[in-house]
Structure 1
Amino acid sequence: IETTLMLGMVFGLRLRQSEGLLSSVLDMMGLDLPVPDHTTLSRRARTWKPSARGNDRPHVADGPIHVLVDSTGLKVYGAGQWLEEKHGVKSRRSWRKLHLAVDADSGEIIAHSLTDQETGDASQLEPLLDQINNEIDQFTADGAYDGAPSYDVVLRHSPGARVVIPPRSNAVEKPNAQASCQRHDHIASVQIDGQLKWQASTGYGKRALVETAMGRYKGVIGQRMRARSFLAQQTEAAIGVALLNRMLACGRPKSVRCRASAGAAK
């Protein structure tokens, strides 16, 4: 089931086409194995669980990591879009929001969640961080995550984490608040030095890496979800993330740092 769904997503195939592709591959390999039909694939996609082999994350960091978080929208093809194509009647377009957490050092997607278009970004911080086993050295996100609750969620996961979120333009320091003093420091720094100097001093520019990950998802997997039901769409997003991580691992060179001897240098 998992292999068939992955092949279909890589080559942009429908379930019937994926069924035929896998059948042809098995015939070429000389393997007499049953191939799940498209009805089974559709049904099992709603209850699919990731395998425990860990292939979706070949690279696992040893120590604390720098986590980047953001979200992007994915189109959903539904009845409204069908009416628009057939009759030219414009209707409200449906979306799904894909929330991603990326390791800044490796570029791998280490956590994800799929929600409807009405779900706020900050509300998905806890579900994302629950998927991360490593300690967080630095957490970076855009202004949509600004607020004391976001700081509290990150610090509950990793008490020593450095949280870098640009404060809102109307943000003010609250001396009596129980929120992290890191947010107060960011507000003061932006007011004194300006936004650009604050970004340079905090390493906020690395957030572009999560934008790159979202661009990879839309470029390789697609900007539109193929599945119709929400459960199947969650499976589709999970398989897409696993595929991107595997592609990234295949393209990453395995290098070892060596010290050149004095004789070799001469």
Structure 2
Amino acid sequence: MPFKHNAARRHRIRKMKFKVTNWRDYEAGLRQRGSLTFWMTPDALDKWHAPRRDTRGGQRRYSDFAIETALTLGCIFHLRLRQIEGFLRSVLDLLGLQLPVPDHTTLSRRAQKWERPAAGSMQSMPDGPIHVLIDSTGLKIYGAGQWLEARHGTRSRRNWRKLHLAVNANNGDIVAETLTDQNTDDSSQVEPLLNQIDGEIGQVTADGAYDGKPTYRAVLEHSDTANIVIPPRSTAVGSNGDTGPPADQRDKHIAAIAKDGRLKWQATTGYGKRSLVETAIGRYKGLIGRRLRARSFPAQQTEVAIGCIVLNRMLACARSNSVRCQEKHA
């Protein structure tokens, strides 16, 4: 909104400059992200084989940890299942470890049954309430689609998936994620996202697509003291006599925008931090990819969950601390 508001005079506005205060550690962390160093701890070796089952059925050869390790390597190096099998086999041979490597059919089958980490295990929750940022984006899936239309002029229905993310505004970590089809409404995923977060929520910020009673109710059911910052639509009106926290908070936003304008409302409520979730989306598409490699929907959900875990680990490896430089006036 500020960019659109100042578009006519953007060329006259100086670009803000920031200085990284921990440049030496940040640079070392960026180099560490590309390191091929690979080691297996004794605890990891013990977890490689599946535990002995005491119920009826076949005995699994590989544990969930082994499957997750293989899929994580494939996510980091953008490998398909057969390449994951060959890469992991060569790494174990270089380490001199006599461990079995799951084949590509096993990885494909087990990826559809992989269980995501329990709530709160994907991130380190700080003390006190957190500020949660929510947004969604589209990811392409396998299919001819645009190629058929460009090559043969054939009209094809291009399908894609919608990735919903919840980001901690304090450190940029992804604290929750869901993957749905392209027809799923954004506000319907607020409750599943918040259910994955362990800890107190102080504020939830989202864009205007989440404006409505379902979003307010989902947030307040999870934390009745949470502050909700969602810009009302340009045609929004008051609650017409409705009472309660959802109507009260939204009415305050409508009144503040009508009195002082949308830009001042954004500065007062801290709505500008919502750009951090867009940064996380850009980081996901840049490092993990814009396209889902898995074919089945359960395997695609596994791919996205592991990709978010990988991003958090990369961010923890190299995190910059920057401060805004003070402008010198003549």
Tell me if TM exceeds 0.5. yes
CA contact (8 A) 1:137 1:160 kept: yes
**Deviations along 1:162-208, whole A, 9 cap, x unmatched?**
11000001100023224330100000111111110110110000000
- Give the Cα separation in 2 of the matches to 1:151 and 1:56: 25
Q: TM-score, normalised by structure 1?
A: 0.90
Name 2:226's counterpart in structure 1. Answer: 161
Name 1:208's counterpart in structure 2. Answer: 275
Name 2:138's counterpart in structure 1. Answer: 73
Whether 1:152 aligns to 2:217 is yes
- 1:56 Cα deviation (Å)? 3.8
Partner SS, residue 198 of structure 2: coil
CA contact (8 A) 2:120 2:196 kept: no
CA contact (8 A) 2:119 2:198 kept: no
Kindly tell me: are residues 73 and 253 of structure 1, through their superposed partners in 2, closer, same or farther at Cα, counting changes over 3 Å? Answer: closer
Matched AA of 2:73: L
- Taking only the aligned residue pairs, the percentage that are identical comes to 66
- Give the Cα separation in 1 of the matches to 2:275 and 2:191: 22
Matched AA of 1:243: V
**Deviations along 1:198-250, whole A, 9 cap, x unmatched?**
10110000000000000000000000111111111100110110100111111
Partner SS, residue 68 of structure 1: strand
Name 1:5's counterpart in structure 2. Answer: 71
Name 1:29's counterpart in structure 2. Answer: 95
Bigger Rg, structure 1 or 2: 2
Kindly tell me: are residues 129 and 53 of structure 1, through their superposed partners in 2, closer, same or farther at Cα, counting changes over 3 Å? Answer: closer
Greater than 6 Å deviation, 4+ residue runs: 52-55
Deviates more, 1:197-206 or 1:79-88: 79-88
CA contact (8 A) 2:165 2:177 kept: yes
Whether 1:107 aligns to 2:175 is no
Deviates more, 1:175-184 or 1:28-37: 175-184
- Give the Cα separation in 2 of the matches to 1:26 and 1:201: 55
- 1:112 Cα deviation (Å)? 0.6
Q: 2:315 aligns with which of 248, 251, 256?
A: 248
Gaps of 5+ in 2: 1-66, 322-330
- 1:100 Cα deviation (Å)? 0.2
- 1:9 Cα deviation (Å)? 1.0
Matched AA of 2:114: W
- 1:252 Cα deviation (Å)? 3.2
How many corresponding residue pairs?
Answer: 253
Q: 1:219 aligns with which of 265, 286, 307?
A: 286
- 1:55 Cα deviation (Å)? 6.8
Q: TM-score, normalised by structure 2?
A: 0.73
Name 2:111's counterpart in structure 1. Answer: 45
